[in-house]
Amino acid sequence: MRKVKLVLPAVALSALSALAAGGTAQAEQAPGCAGTVQIGSTGYVKKSGTIIASVKQFKGCGKNWAYTYVWDSYAAQPGSFSSSAAMVVNGARDFGSNVNGYNKQDVWSKGTDTLTECTRAYGEVWGDGNVYSGQTDERC
């Protein structure tokens, strides 16, 4: 019997690993800003040690943006959920940037004019009587 080795491009492997982990690959573009790029590491929202959402920070169009994506595995559970995304600026949550979504898997914060400040993205998911949160690393 002959063995065949399957070689997949890195993009395909990344997408497959995201699907295996319970998430899906998403197009990430802030509302009204086509030129966003992720800065810093991805943070995670966990429920009892299980990842239920990803949190990312982006820059683009002269602003910082927070992004929360609720994974399919959590969103598909019975009942409703809410999610939010907000920027943390110099250690304090910027409530003016906060955006909430009801049964929305992806939520973008409002853009903040904070490219010269120390910032991190903050995300929350709630829906079973508890609030779960996560954040990215700080970028200065």
In angstroms, the CA 40 to CA 121 distance is: 10
- Residue with the bigger pLDDT between 127 and 137: it is 137
What does pTM read for this prediction?
0.81
- The 3-state DSSP class for residue 84 equals strand
Cβ atoms 98, 105 nearer than 8 A: no
pLDDT-derived band of residue 4, with 50, 70 and 90 as boundaries? very low
Mean pLDDT over each residue of the chain, to the nearest integer: 86
Give tens-digit pLDDT for 42-98.
999 999 999 999 999 999 999 999 999 999 999 999 999 999 999 999 999 999 999
Calculate the alpha carbon distances from 25 to 21, 44, 58, 63 in Å.
Answer: 11, 15, 16, 24
Mean pLDDT of 20-42: 78
